[in-house]
Amino acid sequence: MTQNGLNTDIRTDWSLEEIKAIYNKPVLELIVEAANVHKQYQATGEVQVCTLLSVKTGGCSEDCAYCPQAARYNTGVDVHKLLQQEQVLASARRAKEGGSTRFCMGAAWREVRDNRDFDKVLDMVKGVNDLGLEVCCTLGMVNEYQAERLKEAGLYAYNHNLDTSEEHYDKIITTRTYDDRLGTINNVRKAGISVCSGGIIGLGETDEDRIGMLYTLSTLEQHPESVPVNALVPVKGTPLENQPRVSVWEMVRMIATARILMPKTMVRLSAGREQMDVTEQALCFLAGANSIFTGEKLLTTPNPDFDQDKAMFDLLGLSPRKSFKEETLPQTV
Ligand code: SAM
Ligand code: DTB
Ligand code: SF4
């Protein structure tokens, strides 16, 4: 099996049946297996610390049923146009001071357009890169040329989530297709940018849907370098406002299965930490999560602040991962 042109035992040929068998193991057995894979392939005890900033908030044309930023739902989100470069850099500096090594800028866009705002985002990418942070963006769909321009500006990673399985997808989003999503991921990959793609649980999907999404991610030609696992943050005014909260065991099952399928990938315990206590988060780290978002806000919803997370790191003996660390090292064991 080759990945990055190297011989490794990283598999991209998982079958649905194999994934189902892993996902459905007794949960404690699953955690032990994932912890073993984690130990073999990752520096256990190291957690990547990322910070999000919404550089353009709300007013989005899409109908993503979970999203507080879709213009068609009344969520009371504080809509604003593209931030100024200085505001973004000030926020990036604060993130760095708070111990963050990756700074991710999000825009409530359906897709990138070749206009002045994109030029400004390219400047933001340059500016944040100059601060020595890994820069990530999540701006919606991008074409090949736009991905290349982002890469030239110094973009390190691009986030574009599959969100759910192909089967469940049209119950959540109707204004763009699963293939559109895969196309963007492909464009990002071709431009040589690190791929960040995962999804959300708690959207009313079945276990089969969760397994299906993991199947798509783990059978891409090359695994994403990072896979965010978000728990739905139900926001009042969205169609999913009354969805029940996902249990920690569902998060653990998702994270552990992702870890076993994609051993070298950073698995991010993303949205939903605000509702989890330290014990629950510890279970997720044990199951193979090795990345989080810090800072008091995700894009529009609350998140534990730097101090709370510092206390959690101290308690659990975790340390922040250094920036620009090779994400797909050749296997040495
Ligand atoms: N507009 C761009 C897009 O859709 O790709 C970028 C921003 S969008 C808010 C980024 C991701 O945030 C979504 O794909 C989704 O996975 C996640 N997200 C949005 N709202 C969420 C919520 N309420 N709970 C959990 N995750 C959410
Ligand atoms: C990801 O998978 N989760 C982040 C990031 N990528 C862009 C976003 C979570 C958003 C949660 C809802 C909000 O704060 O608006
Ligand atoms: Fe728009 Fe992105 Fe929210 Fe969908 S997830 S409504 S594309 S901001």
pLDDT 10s digits, 271-289: 999 999 999 999 999 999 9
Asked whether residue 230 is domain-assigned, the answer is: yes
- Token pair in block for residue 281: 């988060």
Q: Kindly indicate the confidence band of residue 9, based on its pLDDT and cuts at 50, 70 and 90.
A: confident
pLDDT on residue 330: 37
pLDDT on residue 327: 52
Cα–Cα distance for residue pair 195/154, rounded to 1 Å: 14
Asked whether residue 328 is domain-assigned, the answer is: no
60 is catalytic: yes
pTM over 0.85: yes
Give the 3-state secondary structure of 132-185: CCEEEEECCECCHHHHHHHHHHCCCEEECCCECCHHHHHHHCCCCCHHHHHHHH
CATH code, 203: 3.20.20.70
196 is catalytic: yes
272 CA distance to ligand 2 centroid (A)? 9
Q: For 311-315, what is the mean pLDDT?
A: 97
pLDDT on residue 1: 47
Asked whether residue 4 is domain-assigned, the answer is: no
- If you average pLDDT over every residue of the chain, what do you get? 94
Q: For 45-52, what is the mean pLDDT?
A: 96
pLDDT on residue 73: 97
Q: How many CA atoms lie within 13 A of 43 on its CB side?
A: 15
Q: Kindly indicate the confidence band of residue 7, based on its pLDDT and cuts at 50, 70 and 90.
A: very low
Query: Does the structure show a pLDDT above 80 at 187?
Result: yes
Secondary structure percentages of the chain, helix, strand, coil, to 5: 40, 20, 45
199 CA distance to ligand 1 centroid (A)? 9
Q: Which of 37-41, 150-154, 303-307 has the lowest mean pLDDT?
A: 303-307
User: Structural domain of residue 299, as residue ranges?
Assistant: 12-322
* 196 is known to lie in a ligand binding site: yes
Measured from the CB, is residue 30 less than 6 Å from ligand 2? Answer: no
137 is catalytic: no
Cα distances from 106 to residues 158, 183, 210, in angstroms, run 10, 19, 25
pLDDT on residue 326: 53
Closest atom of ligand 3 relative to the 108 alpha carbon = 8
- Backbone region of residue 76 per phi and psi (left: phi > 0; alpha: psi in -120 to 50; beta: other values): left
Q: Which of 53-57, 184-188, 227-231, 318-322 has the lowest mean pLDDT?
A: 318-322
67 CA distance to ligand 1 centroid (A)? 6
Cα–Cα distance for residue pair 97/54, rounded to 1 Å: 19
Asked whether residue 171 is domain-assigned, the answer is: yes
- Token pair in block for residue 131: 């601060």
Atom 1 of ligand 2: nearest residue by CA position = 228
Q: For 2-18, what is the mean pLDDT?
A: 77
284 is catalytic: no
Cα torsion angle, 254, 257, 260, 263, sign: negative
Q: For 132-160, what is the mean pLDDT?
A: 98
Of the chain, the end-to-end C-alpha distance in Å amounts to 16
- Nearest CA-CA partner of 136 in 163, 162, 105: 105
Active-site residue identified among 149, 181, 259, 268? 268
Cα 268 off chain centre by: 6
- Per-residue b or e along 72-88, where b marks 16 or more CB atoms closer than 10 Å to that residue's CB: ebebebeeeebbebeeb
Asked whether residue 295 is domain-assigned, the answer is: yes
Atom 18 of ligand 1: nearest residue by CA position = 67
126 CA distance to ligand 3 centroid (A)? 24
Cα–Cα distance for residue pair 199/214, rounded to 1 Å: 9
Which of residues 305 and 125 earns the better pLDDT score?
125
pLDDT on residue 325: 64
Asked whether residue 219 is domain-assigned, the answer is: yes
Closest atom of ligand 1 relative to the 299 alpha carbon = 9
Cα–Cα distance for residue pair 37/288, rounded to 1 Å: 8
* 104 is known to lie in a ligand binding site: yes
pLDDT on residue 236: 97
* CB neighbour list of residue 33: distance below 8 Å, 6 or more residues apart: 22, 25, 256, 260
Query: Does the structure show a pLDDT above 90 at 116?
Result: yes
Asked whether residue 331 is domain-assigned, the answer is: no
pLDDT 10s digits, 284-307: 999 999 999 999 999 999 999 989
* 64 is known to lie in a ligand binding site: yes
pLDDT on residue 324: 72
pLDDT on residue 323: 77
Q: For 255-260, what is the mean pLDDT?
A: 98
Measured from the CB, is residue 56 less than 6 Å from ligand 1? Answer: no
pLDDT 10s digits, 170-182: 999 999 999 999 9
Query: Does the structure show a pLDDT above 80 at 6?
Result: no
Measured from the CB, is residue 303 less than 6 Å from ligand 2? Answer: no
Query: Does the structure show a pLDDT above 60 at 131?
Result: yes
246 neighbors 272 (Cβ within 8 angstroms): yes
Active-site residue identified among 176, 196, 210, 259? 196
Q: How many domains does the chain have?
A: 1
pLDDT on residue 322: 84
Cα distances from 158 to residues 67, 76, 83, 117, 192, in angstroms, run 19, 28, 19, 17, 10
Q: For 265-273, what is the mean pLDDT?
A: 98
Q: For 23-37, what is the mean pLDDT?
A: 98
Measured from the CB, is residue 67 less than 6 Å from ligand 1? Answer: yes
pLDDT 10s digits, 200-220: 999 999 999 999 999 999 999
Query: Does the structure show a pLDDT above 50 at 196?
Result: yes
Closest atom of ligand 2 relative to the 77 alpha carbon = 15
Ligand 1 site-directed mutation target among 50, 67, 69, most atoms within 8 Å of CB:
67
Cα torsion angle, 55, 58, 61, 67, sign: positive
Asked whether residue 6 is domain-assigned, the answer is: no
